[in-house]
Chain A
Amino acid sequence: MTTQLTDLETDQHLRRYDDIRDLLPGPDNPTPLVRLNRITNADWYLKIEWMNPFGSLKDRTAAYLLAGMVERGELDGRDLVEATSGNTGIALAALAGLLGTHLTVTIPDGVPEEKKVLLRMLGAEVWPTPDDLCPVDHPKDGAIALARSLAASEGGSRYAMANQYESEDNVKAHYETTGPEIWNQTEGRVRTFVAGFGTCGTITGIGRFLKEQDPSIRVIGIEPQKGHRLPGLKSFEEAKQPSILDWSVIDDVIHVDDEAAYAFTKRLYREESLMVGPSTGAVVAALDQLRDTGLAVGISADSGFKYTSYFADVLGDEGLPQI
C-alpha cells in the first residue's frame, strides 16, 4: 500500500523542507552571522557554519564536489574515496548516501574518535591513517597519499577521488555561497576576514569574492604550529600546500598555537555561550593579534560536539569537585 503524500513544498520562511538537501546554505539561506559581545569591544562576528545540516562548513564543499563529480560522470560505476580530517567526510557520506554512492574515507590517525564513529554511522568505510604512513618519497599527508593510491590502484576502476585539496569545485563552493553571504550579511561593510589554512578552498573562494567587491578588505590566513591538535587546519611546515591555495587573495598569515586556540575556545564557551570547535578558538586568537580590524568576520567551521575527547584533555580535572 502506498501512502498519499501531502503536497507541502519546501518553504524557507516556515523552515519546512522537502529534503535535507534543501537546508544546504547559500545566499538565499545563509548560515548565521553572530557578533561577539563579551570577549572583545571590537566589531567581530563569527559565521556559524555548524548550523549547516551535516554540522560544518564542509557541507558546502561536499555539495559542490559531489555535484561536479556527478556532472562529469566520475561516479558512474565507481565508489567515492576522499582524504579528510572528518568534516568533509561526514558531509560527503551523508550526501553520497542519498545518491546511493558508497564512501571510503582515509583519515589521519589523530582525528577524534567522535568523527570516525559518525562516519561509520553514516555507512562510510574508515581507514585511520598515520601521517607518516609512507616511509619514503611521500609528504607527511599519509591520508592524502593513501586516498590517491586507492583511486589510482586497479586501473582507477574502483574509486573516484573527490580531491578537495585540488578541486576548483571546493573554491567555487565558497566563491558562490559563503563569500556572497558574508558580503550581504555585513551590508558590504566587512573590513577583515579570517580563516584557517586547511584545504584552502574556504580562504581562496571567500577571499577572491571579497577582494572582487573591495580590494582593500584584509584577508588573513591562520597557520597552526607543527604537530598541532587543531583538526581541519594545516601547518605548511609539515603538510604540502594545496594546489587550490591562491596567495594573491591573502594579505597576511597569523600563527596560532594550540594553547592560544584552546584558551579562546574555552572563553567562547564561557563568555559568549558559543559551543564551537577548536579551530574557531584559533580564529578568535588570530583576531586578538590584529589591530584596527574594523568589522571583522571569522569562520566558525564546526561545533564542539565532535571534540569532547580533546576538550577532556584540555580541562584535566577542571570543573570536577576538588575534594
Chain B
Amino acid sequence: MIDEKLDTSGLLCPLPVYKASTVLSRMEPGQVLELVCTDPGSLADIPALARQRGDILRNVEEQPGRQVFLIEKGPVQ
C-alpha cells in the first residue's frame, strides 16, 4: 500500500533528496512513500538517503527516463 506520492520529475539532485527527506520526516513509521525521479543521480542518492535515515528501500523500478522508488519509513528516528 502506498501512503504518500512525490513526483520530482525535472528536478536535479539534491532537490529530490531534500523533498523526499521532508516528506518522510512527517510520515509515520511503516508508511510507504512512492517517489518518482528523473535525475539519474537519484539511483545512487535515494538508496543512500534511505540508509542514512534508517528507512527501508522496498523497491526500485527503472522505467524509460525515470526511476520509481518505494520507501518504507523506518522506526522512529
Contacts and interface: CB of A to CB of B under 8 A. Distances in A.
Interface in A216-274: none
A163 to B, nearest CB: 16
* Majority SS at the chain B contact face: helix
B14 interface: yes
B13 A134 contact: yes
A135 B49 contact: yes
B21 to A, nearest CB: 8
B11 A133 contact: no
Interface residues of B, number: 16
A137 B12 CA distance: 13
A152 B10 CA distance: 10
Interface string A200-216: 00000000000000000
Contact of A133 (B10, B12, B17, B44): B17
Q: Chain A CB within 10 Å — which of B11, B12, B13, B45 has the most?
A: B13
B10 A136 contact: no
Contact of A149 (B13, B21, B48, B49): B13
B63 interface: no
A96 to B, nearest CB: 22
Interface in B32-57: 41, 44-45, 48-49, 51-52
Interface in A126-152: 127, 129, 133-138, 142, 145-146, 149-150, 152
A138 B11 CA distance: 16
Contacts of A142: 14
A135 to B, nearest CB: 3
A294 B21 CA distance: 52
Interface residues on A, range: 10 to 19
Nearest to B47: A135
B41 A137 contact: yes
Nearest to A148: B12
Contacts of A149: 11-15
Contacts of B45: 134-137
A153 B15 contact: yes
A137 B44 CA distance: 9
B48 A153 contact: no
A154 interface: yes
Nearest to B10: A154
B18 A135 contact: no
Given A134-B45, A142-B14, A152-B12, 17 more contacts: A127-B18, A129-B18, A133-B17, A134-B14, A134-B17, A135-B45, A135-B49, A135-B51, A135-B52, A137-B45, A138-B14, A145-B14, A146-B18, A149-B11, A150-B15, A153-B12, A154-B10
7 contacts: A129-B18, A134-B17, A135-B49, A137-B44, A146-B15, A153-B11, A153-B15
Interface of A: 127, 129, 133-138, 142, 145-146, 149-150, 152-155
